[in-house]
Chains A and B, each alone.
Chain A
Amino acid sequence: MEIQIGHYLALAALLFGIGVAGFFLRRNILIQLMSIELMLNAANLVFISFNRWMPENHLGQTYSFFVIAIAAAEAAVGLAIVISFFRLNKHVDSEKASLLKN
């Protein structure tokens, strides 16, 4: 069977779905951050696949670089928040992080 764009997209959708599920079902902020990374990488995979499918202007590759950069920034800020959150509360349970309620 020849691997076609649909397969790539299906894989990306699967990854994205795992990410979404992880983000919404887990309560550990670290795991949730990892799920976000997973979603970003799924998006990357889509970009790369479409670049393969339409390689004339490398738009997909360019965008995937942007996504990587943003993911790096997001990881830096997110981890910093998680660390200071942990220092304050001695846990990383996102369900208990409701300081801004109401």
Chain B
Amino acid sequence: MELIFSFENTVPWIILLPLLGALINGIVGRKSSRKVVENIAVGAMALAFFLALFSFGYIWILDGVVIDASVLKEGGVQKVSDAFQITFQSPIKGILGIQSALWQPIEGIRIIIEGGAIQLSPSLDGGILQQGALITSHIYEWFSLKFYEFQVPVFIRFTMDALSALMTLVVSGIGLLIHIYSKGYMSEEKSYARFFTYLNLFSASMLILVLASNLPLMFVGWEGVGLCSYLLIGFWWENPTYAAAGKKAFIANRIGDFGVLIGMFLLVSTLHTFEFSEISRLASLANDAGGQALSAVDSKRIATLISSFQLGPLALGSVATLACLFLFLGCSGKSAQIPLYVWLPDAMAGPTPVSALIHAATMVTSGIYLCCRLSNLFLLSDTAMMTIAIVGSLTALLAASVALVQNEMKKVLAYSTVSQLGFMFAAVGVGAFASGFFHVFTHAFFKACLFLGAGSVMHAVGAHGDADMRKLGGLRSILPKTHWTFLVSCLAIAGVPLTSGFFSKDEILLGATRLASTSQSHAWVGWFVFVVLVLAATMTAFYMLRLYFRTFSGSYRSAQATSSETDQQETSHEDHDHGYAAHPHESPWTMTVPLAILGVGAVIVGYLNLEPLHIHFNAWGDWLKPVVRDVQGGATWAPLVAMVGGFSAMAIGIGTAWVLYKGKEKDILPDLIPARLHALMMNKWKVDELYSAVLLKPVRALAGLSATFDRIIVDGVLTKLSSTIVKLASYGVTRLQTGQFTAYGLVLLLGVFFVTGWFVYPHPVIEKTEIKGANVRFVAAQGMGYQYRWDFEGDGEYDTPWGTANTALHRYSGKKFDHIALIAGPKNEKVALHMSKPEALPVSPQHARIVSPGVFAVLKDDGVLIRPNGYAIRLNGRMIKKEEVLVRPGSKGFVAGYPFKVVAIVSPKLTVKNVFGNLNHETVELEVMPSGDRRSPARKTKARISRVDLSRESIQVGHQHK
């Protein structure tokens, strides 16, 4: 970094400072003193405002600068030494510009030129005219999406251009004033740090919303302000009504946010970008089709944008129309338009500074801000514009009619805010974006001033929640400062000439008449908007002056005993029963100074646009021209009609209020209009009741139904039933659980006895028997303290004494075998060992086995007597056909071509004794080749195996425990 200071780095700090303030106050605020808390909060806002002002000035100086084109090299201007000619628009800008150039001129200009988002057009003398300067501050890439071949990155990137610079000034400037005001207003509050934390967090969120360069980042701020609004409306959450108001606001906003998301997705899926500048560029190209050469990608995107959106067989209008309508749904949630406006009047439950900052000056205008930001897009869709215009004007009328009869100061102001927001949307709808935003700007001043004035009154008389006008009056002499600022703001909102409200409201009406005079197909929209807005403006003038007279003129009604008037009308607030403080006092300077500043602003900010006075000076429109599209032209009668309409509305409204309320103690409005109509207006046209009947009741019914389902099916059948089954099934086992640990110990002890017994009792296991002819080697399993004893023949006589060796070797000889088997099978087949068929044998099946059907074998003392029965028997090389032959053990031969052999089956028995003298034994059954003859058994076995295959299979040990 060669430069310590750069405007690129300034913009993020505008957001970071309040965020840091919120962080510090949120973490350590509870333990800090009030002084520290308020200094951190107000200091952060003051610094942010200072930086915003600074950045604004920078943009202002560079706006409209003419740069000598000859110095623009390929990569832009490189260094300060590349001195180049800058021509400033006005002398004052020149002076300031030189100073700024001394400071750091190049960085900013380079950014602007390389940014590419601004329009550079050749000026007269071959230079480049800089229109719409901006500061772009790129932080990092947040995440990235992929749409087919398009990579759509989402940046944490802040852009301060003409539009967002103005909004930043409003947010940080009025935010600062309201922070200062809060120091006085909230001085009695217990949760002081919490309040300032929320307020700072709100400012940061709002600044993110305003400064974001793309939709997702804007949505972060959008949700952030929604959250802070919820937190601040329910700031006094101990009161359930206030908490409910917070929830209502949050839910209404959520419905709108859903629309914003859908609109955002529609845009990104067609345009493959989230950046406002890119959306604006493409939309403006789509507006002025022809003339310019489009790249293939751009023309395809634009074609998709204006193509019809198909949902199955349904054609839902163009993609742009749908996107705009969904975005407008979001705007109607945040900016309190029909049908989602119902939350804003209830939002007055929050502290009054909050009402002024969030619910009058800044957050609720973010819908209009979004529309202006995407003005090019909205202009693509006549349907969307028409919808916005009609919804906006109807909202203005509806809210104004409710405000006419209300008795609480903040309630009147709340409906007035809804009404004024309707004016702004009507302006947007007729295409007068800059005028709508102008009203945002002026409204921010006078409405904030009005709210703070109401707060000052409430502070003075000790009213909580809201101030009932029936118990006020005559405060002019008691609260002079509050009175004067309140009066000025009332006149401004009423549209008295030469106040800011006059200019901005006239501009909106002018927009309507312009549309009426220029458009053929939508002229009726222009007239409709004009008529409805004039009506609404008349009401506005009337109810504002009514509010003023009822509060400040006449005598202070709470000084007397409870008036009879309060008893007549039904009340919704608890504190209506008793009057307010008998001796009100003027508020401290922290409250009156912001009031004064805002009051001055309420008058002078209108002079940015003198068109309504038929003076050709429109600094506002010129300033916003590079960013915001505005409809121009119109017939010559249009301004005149607008002027007459606006002026007469103001005059009639104020005149009526003057006649009816000047110096009067009693509200005579209920006597003038029919009682039923008055009751309806008093109850806000019963819209809340309608929503309750149409939306809440069915949802509640559904909730009740599913709750019943949950109770009976889920809790009852599924849970209770299954748990009961398990309980019943486990009844016996649960009895075992006595809860007495000695019982468990007893079971443990029994277990110990059992395991010990198991290990102590001898377990004779003959693990391995290696048979080699008549020689068998036995291996028994070892055990601690075991002694072994063998009975190899299984005849009951032990062949060995007790010994500790677990192996034994025995050679089977002689004729002491259990039984002898004849085993035979085909030569080439695998297994030829058949268990004997009992019917084929004359002897007991346990004592002989034979294969070869038809051959009979009889067990004799010294061998098996075979009767060939017609089969050819070959034994030891001799053919036997008829006579019986005695086959001795070990003999081999063939029966009808099948080889056979004779083996002995023995059952050796192992007896094991442990140290305690317990005995146990195991018997296995073995087939061994008895050594009946004199020849060496090993050699003989070997020879036999090599000659007869099947013998290997037959020498198997079958363990049979007996």
Contact = CB atoms under 8 A, between A and B. Distances in A.
Chain A partners chain B: yes
Interface of A: 20, 23-24, 32, 94-95, 97-102
B739 interface: yes
20 contacts: A20-B749, A23-B745, A24-B742, A24-B746, A32-B742, A94-B740, A94-B741, A94-B742, A97-B739, A97-B740, A97-B741, A98-B738, A98-B739, A98-B740, A99-B739, A100-B737, A100-B739, A101-B739, A102-B735, A102-B737
Interface string B253-266: 00000000000000
Contacts of A20: 749
Contacts of A23: 742, 745
Contacts of B739: 97-102
Contacts of B741: 94, 97
A95 B740 contact: yes
A99 B749 CA distance: 23
B734 interface: yes
B744 to A, nearest CB: 10
A97 B741 CA distance: 8
A97 B745 CA distance: 14
A20 B746 CA distance: 10
A56 to B, nearest CB: 19
A100 B739 CA distance: 5
A97 B738 CA distance: 10
Given A98-B739, A98-B740, 10 more contacts: A20-B749, A23-B745, A94-B741, A94-B742, A95-B742, A97-B740, A98-B738, A100-B739, A102-B735, A102-B739
A102 B734 CA distance: 5
B746 A101 contact: no
Nearest to B734: A102
A32 B743 CA distance: 13
A97 to B, nearest CB: 7
Contacts of A95: 740, 742
Contacts of A101: 737-740
A102 B736 CA distance: 7
A16 B930 CA distance: 56
Contacts of A24: 742, 745-746, 749
A85 to B, nearest CB: 11
- Pick the 10 closest A-B CB pairs, nearest first: A98-B739, A101-B739, A102-B734, A100-B739, A98-B740, A102-B737, A24-B742, A101-B738, A23-B745, A94-B742
A98 B740 CA distance: 5
A98 to B, nearest CB: 3
Nearest to B735: A102
A92 to B, nearest CB: 13
B755 to A, nearest CB: 15
Contacts of B749: 20, 24
Interface in B756-770: none
A20 B749 CA distance: 9
Interface string B571-605: 00000000000000000000000000000000000
A99 B738 CA distance: 9
A32 B740 CA distance: 13
Nearest to B736: A102
Contacts of A100: 737, 739
Nearest to A24: B742
A99 B745 CA distance: 17
Contacts of B742: 23-24, 32, 94-95
B750 to A, nearest CB: 11
Interface in B717-740: 734-735, 737-740
A94 B742 CA distance: 8
A100 to B, nearest CB: 5
B748 to A, nearest CB: 10
A20 B748 CA distance: 11
A94 B740 CA distance: 7
Nearest to A100: B739
B401 to A, nearest CB: 69
Contacts of B746: 24
A54 B739 CA distance: 43
A32 B745 CA distance: 11
B733 to A, nearest CB: 10
B140 to A, nearest CB: 54
Contacts of B738: 98, 101
A96 B746 CA distance: 17
Contacts of A97: 739-741
A82 to B, nearest CB: 12
Nearest to B733: A102
Nearest to A23: B745
A1 B749 CA distance: 34
A98 B741 CA distance: 8
B153 to A, nearest CB: 60
